[in-house]
A and B are shown apart, each in its own frame.
Chain A
Amino acid sequence: MTGAMDIGIPQLLIALLFIVTAGVASLRLRLGLERDLLWGTLRTVAQLVLMGFVLIYVFQLRQWYLIVGLYTVMILFAAWIIRGRVRSTSVSYFLPTFMSMAVSYLVINVLVVAVIVQADPWYLPKYFIPLGGMIIGNSMNAIAIALDRLFSDLIGKRARIELLISLGATAREASAEVYRDAIRAGMIPSINAMMGVGVVFIPGMMTGQIIAGSDPLVAVKYQIVVMLMLVGSTALGSLLVISLVRRRCFSADHRLTIRERSS
């Protein structure tokens, strides 16, 4: 591996022209996105620079509990972000979401790093944190989509669900279709990504490895693992989250208790 060519600060500034272009378009077309573009750019630069320094430090760590602890904090943030993306209802879902994500992502990440990549030790931060970050980033979207679908269907199909309950169905039976649709909605984007990968787009990880000087075939093998890992984590994460949160939408006597919040 020869490593990627470094980018100088002046060259980095040239990249800002892309944002200037978008800003001009926003002004001309009155899209009202200038503030968001500026704020987004500042955050991107600040967060990534900070992340760079953190990673330099993290990659030197050799204590498994610190790595797993850091990973858990990343998952905690992801669960927090999901809160802002899902419609507001009477059901509190933060804790079950975080717990499900933590369990499923840890299991999958350990499996990938220790068994498939065969890193030694199993928590080698250079692999554990970036791969884990990919799991979180992709699966977080899936869980947000699945949760939002679950809530919107439970509220929108209340009459149908209550009909089934009136006919003697349990909460689980009455919401079986909604449950399946929610998990399916969460999984479809990662399945679609498998269809387009290598044909429609070259994924970020593979691009990075190739630029960094890796053999493209090695990069391909990593990317295959990543794609499969993302489908697995999406499926497992959505399944656990939706199973736990669905129970919170009903009472013990199978009443549909979820309510929409106006604010």
Chain B
Amino acid sequence: MINIVSEHSTEAVLQVRDLTFRYGSTPVLSELSLDLYRDDVLLLTGASGAGKSTLLRVLARLLEPESGTVLLNGQPREDIDPTRYRRRVAYLQQQPVMVSGSVRENLLLSFRFGSAEPPSRELLGEMLDRTALSGVSLEQSAAELSVGQQQRIALLRLLLMEPEVLLLDEPTASLDDEAARLLMESVAAAREQADRAVLLVSHNDGGASDVLSPRRAVLRSGHVEEAS
């Protein structure tokens, strides 16, 4: 087992041990282990089909692994209410999915499902400004936005849940360089703001290096290996 552990002195926020997953009889993840720390960014690269997205979907609890454990702050995730877990370990899909309605409705989507008070209009406006979305109105249709803008809205939507871990699934795959840089800056700000742990998967750098200075690892044959 190659354990991807950095020199962080703090305890891991997310501990993944011996995770195995297969689609039918095809093995995808094979006794995979990794640790993710507070204020940590791990960039996981790998060839197409290596299982990067599958790993994130397993960690986001959208897929059930065959075996292995996932601990969130030392607590087995099976002991945590699944809806609560997903708010704490937030997952950003590769393609931004907007529901029909305004930017504001999209930002406040998670508040439909919880008891938390939604933030004020002013606070949402400030968030947009900080995410280089100052030209975007809260009341305009989310469908009118560019893919890059939608992806930043999708990120803000997750951040409003105040997650401890961010799982980012090739978020810059369909973005141009400028949009990718803006998104990565938003991720960097989100990390600094609350010492969040970030697990970013990408088939290449995805524009992360310049902005996030991540630890690096490679997903190969279902295992995580330290990048050379």
Contact = CB atoms under 8 A, between A and B. Distances in A.
A165 B158 CA distance: 12
A173 to B, nearest CB: 6
Contacts, number: 56
Nearest to A157: B97
B84 interface: yes
B141 interface: no
A168 B62 contact: no
Contacts of A159: 93, 95, 97
Interface in B38-72: 60-64
A217 interface: no
Interface stretch (A81-89, A116-124, A247-255): A247-255
Contacts of B157: 167
A160 interface: yes
A159 B99 CA distance: 11
Among B82, B91, B95, find the residue whose CB has the most chain A CB atoms closer than 10 A: B82
B110 interface: yes
Contact of A167 (B61, B95, B113): B113
B83 A162 contact: no
Interface string B81-110: 011101100110101010100000000011
A65 to B, nearest CB: 45
A164 interface: yes
Contacts of A163: 93, 97, 99, 109
A251 B64 contact: yes
A167 B62 contact: no
Q: Number of contact residues on B: which range applies?
A: 20 to 34
Interface residues of A, number: 17
A166 interface: yes
A169 interface: yes
Name which of B83, B93, B99 has the most chain A CB atoms within 10 A of its CB: B83
B95 A166 contact: no
A214 interface: no
A164 B108 CA distance: 11
B121 interface: no
A261 to B, nearest CB: 12
Nearest to A253: B82
B197 interface: no
A110 B18 CA distance: 58
Interface of B: 60-64, 82-84, 86-87, 90-91, 93, 95, 97, 99, 109-110, 112-114, 157-158, 161
Given A160-B97, A167-B109, A173-B112, 10 more contacts: A159-B93, A159-B97, A166-B90, A167-B158, A168-B110, A169-B83, A170-B113, A253-B64, A254-B82, A255-B62
5 contacts: A166-B93, A167-B87, A167-B109, A253-B64, A253-B82
